[in-house]
Amino acid sequence: MSGRCDMTFRSMGSDIRLIVETPLLRNMPEPREAAEEQRRYIEDFASRLSRFRPDSELCALNDDAREEVPASPLLRAAVSAGVWAARRSWGLVDPTLVPEIEAVGYADSQEGRVPASLREALAAAPESRPALASPRERWKAIVVDDRRGVVRRPVGVRIDTGGTGKGLAADAVAHRLRGYARYVVDCGGDIAIGGVGVQLEPLPIEVEHPLTGECIHTVWASGGGVATSGLNVRIWRRGDGSFAHHLLDPSSGEPVWSGLIGASALAPTALEAETLTKIALLSGPRGARRVLAEHGGLVVHNDGDVELIGPLGQPGVTVQLSGRAA
């Protein structure tokens, strides 16, 4: 049987790619079988945590009239990840903006829709300014109690796990594949990488320009997480003719126009890398330089200019981060 499987499929509204190579121990599933098992895991993960499926566990939590709601380990992990990202971002990556994201036109899945023109949106965008945290800080009222198996939040506070779900899923699958020589889990741009194979032979990851679609940089990674986010993927025109996208300023509930249209980040895990890209896009150029300095990253400005930050800006650097996938 083949010692390598490279599988791509659709889930979570994105392309998912799994690369699995050579089991390290006897009696482990072959790469193809392992990849199929993880595909089923991701599809189950997506269906249970979808904001767009009325029968999902997430929707059941959001619709529940009780303050304290029993929740599965998966749902508790997803809510915990959202709260962690909010704390890590000083409230910028806020998982409680469900009413606001629905109000700007993202009440239903964007799957299958052609995005609006980012160039046209930029031409019509207001003056650039960084996002601010919401003074209401609804996310601080969310408590995940693993001992009792419940999530507590004020009645009426709804939670969206979409902002961190792909990173969480990538890390979870990476953990499940840790017995293989080399594995790559790409959940719509949130990537977890590991195995002795990538330590010996770093993996090239190409970063795409949000305006041109061209490769603007290649990251050579030998472990950890890499994430890329851009305003070009989920952007639409509203009924009044204005443009909106999925990244909101928590202080206003409106799409942010921070001066950046794309960001990539490296971190020990895909969840952290995903969170850092969102902080960068929400914070604008100055804030992005600060949050991406430690592990490295890049940003794309409104005019299309690309700026490399931290270790990524050093020629010939191979990024090697210790993964903490759980």
pLDDT of residue 138: 96
Query: Domain 4-313's class?
Result: alpha beta
pLDDT of residue 323: 39
User: Within 13 Å of residue 277, how many CA atoms lie on the same side as its CB?
Assistant: 30
The mean pLDDT of 235-248, rounded to a whole number, is 95
**Phi then psi dihedrals of residue 41, to 5 deg:** -65, -45
pLDDT of residue 314: 62
Of 25, 24, 18, give the one whose Cα is nearest residue 187.
Answer: 18
Amino acid 133 reads A
pLDDT of residue 224: 94
- Note the pLDDT tens digit of each residue in 119-142: 999 999 999 999 999 999 999 999
Q: What angle do CA 283, 310, 83 make, to 5 degrees?
A: 45
pLDDT of residue 232: 93
Q: Are 254 and 106 in contact (CB under 8 A)?
A: no
Rounded alpha-carbon distances, angstroms, from residue 215 to 10, 85, 92, 210, 293:
22, 28, 28, 10, 22
Percent of the chain at pLDDT exceeding 90: 87
**Phi then psi dihedrals of residue 247, to 5 deg:** -105, 110
pLDDT of residue 2: 61
- Note the pLDDT tens digit of each residue in 41-53: 999 999 999 999 9
Only one residue has tokens 């023109």, namely: 117
Residue 324 pLDDT class (50, 70, 90 cuts):
very low
Pairwise CA distance, residues 17 & 270, whole Å:
14
Cα dihedral 48, 54, 57, 59, rounded to 10, equals 120
Q: Are 51 and 108 in contact (CB under 8 A)?
A: no
The mean pLDDT of 240-264, rounded to a whole number, is 96
- Note the pLDDT tens digit of each residue in 58-93: 999 999 999 999 999 999 999 999 999 999 999 999
Examine the pLDDT at 318 and tell me if it is beyond 70: no
pLDDT of residue 199: 87
- Average pLDDT for the chain: 93
Token duo for residue 76? 């508790």
pLDDT of residue 319: 46
